[in-house]
Structure 1
Amino acid sequence: MNPSKILLMSAAIWLLAACVKNAETITPTSTNPDWTTESHSNDADPDYNVVFPQDKVNTLEIIMTKQTWQEIKTDMISVKGADFGAGGNQGGGPGGVNSTTEPKYVSVTMKFNNKTWNNVGFRLKGNSSLSSIWRSGIYKLPFRMQFDEFEDKYPEIKDQRFYGFKEVSMSPAFKDNSLIREKVTADIFRMAGIPAAQTSFYKVYINFGDGLKYCGVYTMIEAIEDNMLKAQFGEEKGNLYKPESTFQSFSQAQFEKKNNEDTADWSDIQAVITTLNASTRTSNPTQWRENLEKVFNMDHFIKWLAVNSTLVNWDTYGGMAHNHYLYNHSTKKLMWIPWDNNEALTSQTRVQLSLAGVANSWPLINYVANDPIYYVKYKAYVKDFNDNVFTTNKMNELFDKATNLITPYVNGTEKEEKPYSNLTNTASFTAALPVLKQHVVGRNQAVASFLK
C-alpha cells in the first residue's frame, strides 16, 4: 500500500478514536462549552470528593440580574409579608414567618472551578431563619439550587447536574457564630452510626445585579432525596417523607413525599402511627413493641434520640414537628434521618437528657421514656455515644479542623462583614470555638450524672 495512504488511514483512525473519547466526556447537544459528562450530565456518578471535600473550602459564584433580584423580592413580599430589610414583626399567619409556601425558583448562573452552569434553579429556603435574615436586610440568605429546574424552558440543560448532584442546600449558619455547627453535627451523627447528609464548607460570592459581593462561608448540604439514600442506605426506591407531624395522628398533608409522588400510598407511615398509638402499649407492651418494630426501626430511632439528646439539638422532633426525614428501607423499615442542624450543640433544650417531662404530644419520645425495655436501650446508647464518640478529644479535633479551615475566609484574608454576614462582628466568631468545646465538657458531665 502507498505509504501516504497508510499515513492518511492512520490519521483518520486516530481522529476517530479522539472523537469517540471526546464523545464520552462532552455532550454535543449542549450549548455550554463547559458541559462535560463528569461535571454537568446525569450519566456520571456523584463525585463526593469534588462537591463535598473535607479538607478544603470550595468557592461558588452565583450571578443574577437586577431583574431577577427584584423578582425574588416581589415573591418574598407575598411569601413572607415583607420587603428585604423591612424589619418589624416576624409573626405567623398568611405571609408571615410560619407560612408554608416556599419561595419560587428563579434562573441564575453558577460558576465553580472555572466552569459555568447555566439556568440553574435558585430559591430561598427556610422558615423563621429566612424571615429574620430577610427582614434584617442581610444578603447572606439560605438557599437551594436545583440544576435541572428549568429544563422544560431550556432544553439544552436537560438532566443538568453538578458533578452528579441534582440539588444542594446552602446554609448560612444562622444563629451560629462558630459557623461550623451544621457541618460538624452531621459528621457527629455519622460517627455515631446515624446516616446524615454530607456537608462541606463553601465561600460564596453573589452578584445581585451590581457585581459580585462576598457573602461569606456557607455549609453546602446534600439533598436527602438526591444521592444520599443510595450512598448511605444502599437503595432509594422506598418512600421518603419530610414530616411536619407530632405522630399523634395521621394527616397526609403532614407527610410530604419527596419521591414516589405519583403513587398515592402512605400506608407505611399510617401503619407506624396506628401501631405507635395502639392501646396494646399499656395492655400488652410486648405485643406493642413487636408490632411497632415490624413497621418502624425503633432501635435506630432510639439511637438517634440518645445522640440528639446528648449533644443537644432542640430544633427538631420533641421541640418542633420538623427537621427530619423518614425513609422506608426494604428490610430495615422506616428509618429516621436528621436534618437542619445549625442550632445543635447549644445550651437551649426542649428534651431533658433523662426524657423526664416529655409531653404526650410527642409520643415517639414519651413512649420510649415510659417503656422500661426501650428506656434501658436509650440509656445504653447515651453511654456508648458519650464514651466512644462525644469525647473531648474527638470533638476538639473535629471543631479545630473545621474552624481552621474557614478562619481565613471569616476574619483572615477575606472577612465576613455586614450586610453580607449574620455575624455581629468577627470577634463573635473567635469567641465561639471555646464555647463549643465547653459545651462538650458540660454534656459529658450531664451524662455522668444521668447514668449514676
Structure 2
Amino acid sequence: MHRLIIALLAGSLAGCSCGDDPPAPGAMDASGVSAAPSPFITDRVLEVRVELEPAAWAQMMASPEEEAYQHANLVFDGTRLENIAVRTKGNSSLGSVKRMGSHRFSFKLDLDEYVDGQELMGVDKLVFDNGFKDPTLLREALAYEIARSFGLEAPRTAFVDLWMAGEHLGLYTLVEVVGKEFLERSFADDGGDLYKLEPQAGFLGWMGTTIAGYSGLEVERNEDTTDHAAFLRLVEVLHSGAADQYDGVLDVQAVLRYLAFDSALVNLDSYLGMGHNYYLYEQADRFSVIPWDLNEAFGNFTCGCSREGLIGLYIDEPTCGATSGYPLLQRLFAVPANLERYHGYLQELVDGPLQETRFGATVDALADLVRPYVLADTTKFFSNEDFERGLSQDVGSSVIGLRAFASERGAAIRAQMEGRSPATNGGRGSCGGGPRPCPPNCSDAGAPSPCGDGVCDSVEQRDPRLCPRDCADAGMPSPCGDGVCDSVEQRDPRLCPRDCADAGTR
C-alpha cells in the first residue's frame, strides 16, 4: 500500500492502492519500521485490540449509560500496554446504540488511570468514535483534516479496526483528546485555562458576575487554581463591551476561522447550533476556539433545517436560531472588517479543501483506504450500498452525500458572497429563524425542539423526560405507528415497515 498523503488546502494527494483484504496487523511500512512515532497514522488502518475479562465486558454492555471504567489491556498496532481503563462514551449515540441492541458504542481509553504516567507514543488518552449517523464512516476524519489544513488547532485522527473483548466491532475513527498532550503540541503556552462548553454557558451569553451562574461550563485545565477571571471578562465584553475590546479577550482571527469552518461545513452540532462541542483555551487572557465532535459535519445534524436550508445556510447568519442568542458571532460580525475577513476565510475554503474536484479526490482516496474494512464490518449502522452511495449521493432523506454536499454548498456560498442569493435573514438565523434551540429549563418560547431525531444528545440527557422516545431505554414503548420514519427507523426500515413504507430511505 502506498502512503496516503492528505494535503487538502494545497490540494495534493499521493496515490493509494488498496487490496481487497485488510493488511496484516503490525505490517511494516516502506521504511521497514513497524513502530510508529504517533498513534495518528493516516496511511493505513491500524488494528486495535482491547482485552477485557468476560464479566467486565458483560457489565459494560449491560449498563453502557453509566460510562464506568473497566480494567483492560491494550494491543495498539502491535504495541501492548497492561492495565488500562476503558469505558463507553457518546452523548449523541449511546442511548440509540443501546436501544438497537448493538455493542458498537464509542469508547474512551485512559492509559494512566491505573498506572501513573503510562502513555502510548506520548498520548495517555484515546477516543474511538463509532461512525453513528454516517454511512461513509469518513465524516469525522475528513472534517478534522480540513480544520487542521485550514489553520485551526484541531485534534488528529486515524482509522482503526477495533476489537473489544474478542468481539470484532469494525472500522472506527481514533480521535485525539483535547488535553495536556494536545495543548503542548498546539500552543506556545500550554498552561492556560481550558474549558469544554455545553449549554447554557456554551452560548457565551451573559449569566452574571460569578462562575456559578454558568451551567454547562466544564473546567478541563487548572480546575483547582483558576479564578475564571478571563472567562468572565470574555462574556462581559461580548455582552456589553466595545469592538476595540474584542482583541483583548479573543484571538479574533482564529475565532473567525472557526466560524467560517463551521458555517462552510454546515457543522451545526456546535456553537452555531446547541452551543456545545467546542473548547475554549486561554493564553494571556485571550481565548481561542478548538473544534470538537465533528462526526455530524457536512450537514448531518439538521437542527430542524430542511435539506435546502442546510445547503443554503445563510453565511452571515449560520445559526440554528436568532443571532442574538449567539453573541460570539453576532458581536464579531457587527464589525465590518471582521465580516470581510470571515468572507475571505469562506473563500479559502470553497477554493481550497471544499473545491469540488479536490474534495472529490480526497473522498476517493479515503474511501479506497477504508473500503476493505467497511465491507468486512458487520456491526456498522448502514449497508455496504449506503457506504458507496453516501460518497456521492444522498442516503435516504436524512444524509447528504459527501460530493453532493461540497458541490452544492460551495455553489451556495459563492452565490451569497456574490450577492446572487441573500446572506442574511433579518437576524433570525437560518432554517426558518426564530429563537435558538432551547435546552430544558430555559425560557426561549417557541424554540425548535431537539426531539424526534432518534438521538439522546447531551441536552436531552440532562432531562430524559424532554424527549422520551429519543432517550428511552430498550424495552420502552415502540417508535412504530406514528406515521413518521424517523432517524432510528431509517437505519432499519424493517423495524417499522408501515412508517417507512413511503420514505424511500434506501
Same fold (TM over 0.5): yes
Category of TM-score, reference length = shorter chain: 0.7 to 0.9
In structure 1, stretches of 5+ residues that fail to align are 1-46, 80-102, 151-156, 281-287
Partner secondary structure for residue 108 of structure 1? strand
Paired residues for 1:400-411 under 5 Å? 400-411=364-375
- The answer on whether the counterparts of 1:399 and 1:433 sit within 8 Å (CA) in structure 2 is yes
Residue aligning to 1:239: 193
Q: What one-letter code is carried by the residue in structure 1 that aligns with 2:164?
A: I
- The answer on whether the counterparts of 1:182 and 1:342 sit within 8 Å (CA) in structure 2 is yes
Residue aligning to 2:120: 162
Question: In the TM superposition, what is the alpha-carbon distance from 1:237 to its structure 2 partner?
Answer: 0.6
- Distance in 2 separating the partners of 1:132 and 1:449: 38
1:277 aligns with 2:239: yes
1:318 aligns with 2:282: no
Query: 1:330/1:264 Cα in 2 relative to 1: closer, same or farther (>3 Å)?
Result: closer
- The answer on whether the counterparts of 2:269 and 2:301 sit within 8 Å (CA) in structure 1 is no
Q: What one-letter code is carried by the residue in structure 1 that aligns with 2:192?
A: G
Match of 2:129 among 157, 167, 171: 171
Residue aligning to 2:60: 72
1:308 aligns with 2:265: no
- The answer on whether the counterparts of 2:133 and 2:300 sit within 8 Å (CA) in structure 1 is no
Report the number of matched residues. 357
Q: Give the stretch that moved more between structures: 255-264 or 183-192.
A: 255-264
Report the TM-score when normalising by structure 1: 0.75
- The answer on whether the counterparts of 1:313 and 1:349 sit within 8 Å (CA) in structure 2 is no
- Distance in 2 separating the partners of 1:48 and 1:219: 17
Residue aligning to 2:154: 196
1:115 aligns with 2:75: no
1:441 aligns with 2:407: yes
Q: Which has the higher helix share?
A: 1
Residue aligning to 1:421: 380
Residue aligning to 2:437: none
- Distance in 1 separating the partners of 2:160 and 2:101: 22
Question: In the TM superposition, what is the alpha-carbon distance from 1:347 to its structure 2 partner?
Answer: 6.1
Residue aligning to 1:355: 317
- The answer on whether the counterparts of 1:323 and 1:340 sit within 8 Å (CA) in structure 2 is yes
Residue aligning to 1:293: 247
1:341 aligns with 2:300: no
Query: 1:111/1:48 Cα in 2 relative to 1: closer, same or farther (>3 Å)?
Result: closer
Query: 1:116/1:441 Cα in 2 relative to 1: closer, same or farther (>3 Å)?
Result: same
1:364 aligns with 2:328: yes
Q: Which has the larger radius of gyration?
A: 1
1:261 aligns with 2:214: no
- The answer on whether the counterparts of 2:38 and 2:122 sit within 8 Å (CA) in structure 1 is no
- The answer on whether the counterparts of 2:169 and 2:377 sit within 8 Å (CA) in structure 1 is yes
Residue aligning to 1:397: 361
Query: 1:225/1:205 Cα in 2 relative to 1: closer, same or farther (>3 Å)?
Result: same
Question: In the TM superposition, what is the alpha-carbon distance from 1:49 to its structure 2 partner?
Answer: 4.2
1:384 aligns with 2:332: no
Question: In the TM superposition, what is the alpha-carbon distance from 1:349 to its structure 2 partner?
Answer: 4.9
Question: In the TM superposition, what is the alpha-carbon distance from 1:75 to its structure 2 partner?
Answer: 4.2
Q: Using the aligned pairs only, state the percent identity.
A: 26
Match of 1:248 among 182, 195, 205: 205
Q: Where do 4+ consecutive residues of structure 1 move more than 4 Å?
A: 347-351
Paired residues for 1:119-130 under 5 Å? 119-130=83-94
Could you report, residue by residue, the CA deviation over 1:277-317 in whole angstroms, capped at 9, with x for unpaired residues? 00x5xxxxxxx121121011222111111121012111101
Question: In the TM superposition, what is the alpha-carbon distance from 1:358 to its structure 2 partner?
Answer: 3.2
- The answer on whether the counterparts of 2:85 and 2:111 sit within 8 Å (CA) in structure 1 is yes
Partner secondary structure for residue 346 of structure 2? helix
Could you report, residue by residue, the CA deviation over 1:418-443 in whole angstroms, capped at 9, with x for unpaired residues? xx2222x1111111111211210101
Residue aligning to 1:227: 181
Question: In the TM superposition, what is the alpha-carbon distance from 1:348 to its structure 2 partner?
Answer: 5.1
Question: In the TM superposition, what is the alpha-carbon distance from 1:123 to its structure 2 partner?
Answer: 1.1
- Distance in 2 separating the partners of 1:160 and 1:364: 39
Partner secondary structure for residue 324 of structure 2? coil
Question: In the TM superposition, what is the alpha-carbon distance from 1:137 to its structure 2 partner?
Answer: 1.4
- The answer on whether the counterparts of 1:167 and 1:226 sit within 8 Å (CA) in structure 2 is no
- Distance in 2 separating the partners of 1:426 and 1:238: 45
Report the TM-score when normalising by structure 2: 0.67
In structure 2, stretches of 5+ residues that fail to align are 1-34, 208-212, 304-312, 393-400, 419-506
